[in-house]
Amino acid sequence: MNPSSPPPAPLPLPLPFDFEASYRGYLVGLLTNDRQHCRQCFEQWLEACPELRTLYEDLVRRSLYDVGDLWERGRISVATEHLATAISESLLNLAYPRLFAQPRLGKSAVVACVANEYHQIGGKMVADLFELNGWRGYFLGANTPVQGLLELVTEKHPDVVALSVSVASSLDTLIDAASEVRAAFPDLPILVGGQAFRWGGRERVEHLPGVRCLASLGEAEAWIKQESGR
Ligand code: B12
């Protein structure tokens, strides 16, 4: 973890249930397409976790990383991986009622996955985090062409643009997109993140003025709170 990262979200104490056992059951549910069991686990975590990012990272992200590792090692099929992803994506919607509980602050963010980037769950989590903190989070989803991004920024006048990239080979596309946003909107803060940075590249993108690379939802939330004046 980056030394300046905020600490991980605390788990509620005393623990209302065994998170580790629940995690393992959830993962098995994902791998066996047991949507009902996954839903039960997700709802249990949703109720128990005061911070939504605990649920997003310690249950959903962790399980998808595990699914990805199993796929990479040839232990599960592409179809199983796709089913697990579809279940995960649909469960995120159960958190919706939580997102709009905070009063609206009149600020907004445009969040997008760069062109040819089809991994969109991390980006959606970031957009949700803005909503959770009283911002409007415009989420453009996967594979956003830079022209479409620039048009939306022109239309919505957001306070920040956040770009997500997962595949290491898409890093150049991210840098091009961030450069185009920077050229068109010189003062607009740009946040970038996503697991492509697990393989390096942070300094290449932070080289652009006004661009910050953030490693986690915790870092993103710290940034949002600071900009919200909280
Ligand atoms: C599901 C999945 C897919 C799905 C995605 C569907 C969808 N609806 O999103 C599909 C089938 C499309 C897919 C395709 C491919 N995939 Co894929 N996929 C995955 C998998 C299993 C899960 C992805 C996921 O949702 N993770 C969970 C989310 C929550 O994590 P996250 O994205 O990291 O987001 C977190 C942080 O990074 C951060 N974050 C993310 N964005 C941002 C942005 C900002 C601003 C901030 C602050 C933070 C932030 O917040 C999130 C919460 O912490 C991963 C395994 C893995 N390790 O993730 C492989 C993985 C990402 N895929 C991989 C590969 C290789 C591919 C393909 C090339 C496979 C192929 N041969 O076709 C294609 C590429 C397609 C493309 N051009 O994008 C590799 C990438 C390896 C690399 N070195 O780049 C991985 C790591 C699998 C592996 N272990 O090898 N994939």
Ligand 1 pocket test, candidate residues 70, 75, 116, 119, most atoms within 8 A of CB: 119
**Dist CA 8 CA 55 (whole Å):** 12
Q: What span, in angstroms and rounded, lies between the C-alpha atoms of 25 and 202?
A: 35
Separation between Cα atoms, residue 192 and residue 215, nearest integer Å: 9
Q: Is 132 in the pocket of ligand 1 (CB under 6 A)?
A: no
User: Which tens digits make up the pLDDT trace of 95-107?
Assistant: 999 999 889 999 9
The CA 212 to ligand 1 mean position distance, Å, reads: 20
Q: Which fold has domain 100-227?
A: Rossmann fold (3.40.50)
CA of 167 to the centre of ligand 1 (A): 7
Domain ranges of the chain: 19-98, 100-227
* Token reading at 20: 């580790």
Distance 14 CA to ligand 1 centre (A): 34
**By the 8 A CB rule, do 230 and 224 touch?**
no
CATH code assigned to 19-98: 1.10.1240.10
Task: Reply yes or no on whether the pLDDT at 12 is more than 80.
Answer: no
- The 10 Å Cβ neighbour count of residue 3 is 4
Give per-residue pLDDT as tens, 175-201: 999 999 999 999 999 999 999 999 999
pLDDT tens-digit readout, 125-156: 999 999 999 999 999 999 999 999 999 999 99
pTM above 0.85, yes or no: yes
Which residue in the block uniquely carries the two structure tokens 């199983």?
80
